[in-house]
């Protein structure tokens, strides 16, 4: 769950670590940086799933890449970013989405819908 101090969608579920690219940085490097900063994850192995475009709000259109993360070890949350860490089965996530329960951040809801092959606002530009 996102920290209650976040400016956008505090106290909402977010299944992603998202980073803005630093000058000259590649998407994968930014993903690894974010996982280390926000969750203290090491032993990271990423699988690129897609490059996509999505409208996140007024004047907020971004091109992003989505990775699936596998790692060895534990996590430790950064309380400024995340207030708690929970896991759900894909079946439970699909149930929550279909019943429109839960408080997913809007981008998380759309990415999860894409991942579960449900209608989504994710505009796929390329896949792995």
Tell me the per-residue pLDDT of 5-64, one tens digit each, with 9 for 90 and over: 888 888 888 877 888 899 999 999 999 999 998 888 888 999 999 999 988 777 777 889
The model carries a pTM of 0.82
Domain ranges in the chain?
A: 27-127
Return the residue matching tokens 């909402």: 12
């Amino acid at each position: 769950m996102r920290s209650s101090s976040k400016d956008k969608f505090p106290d909402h579920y977010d299944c992603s670590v998202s980073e803005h690219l630093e000058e000259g940085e590649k998407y994968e490097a930014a993903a690894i940086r974010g996982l280390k900063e926000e969750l203290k994850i090491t032993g990271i192995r990423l699988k690129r799933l897609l490059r996509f475009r999505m409208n996140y709000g007024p004047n907020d259109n971004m091109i992003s890449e989505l990775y699936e993360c596998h790692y060895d070890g534990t996590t430790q949350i950064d309380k400024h970013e995340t207030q708690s860490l929970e896991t759900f089965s894909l079946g439970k996530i699909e149930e929550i989405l279909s019943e429109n329960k839960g408080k997913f951040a809007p981008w998380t809801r759309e990415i999860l819908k894409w991942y579960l092959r449900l209608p989504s606002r994710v505009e796929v530009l390329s896949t792995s």
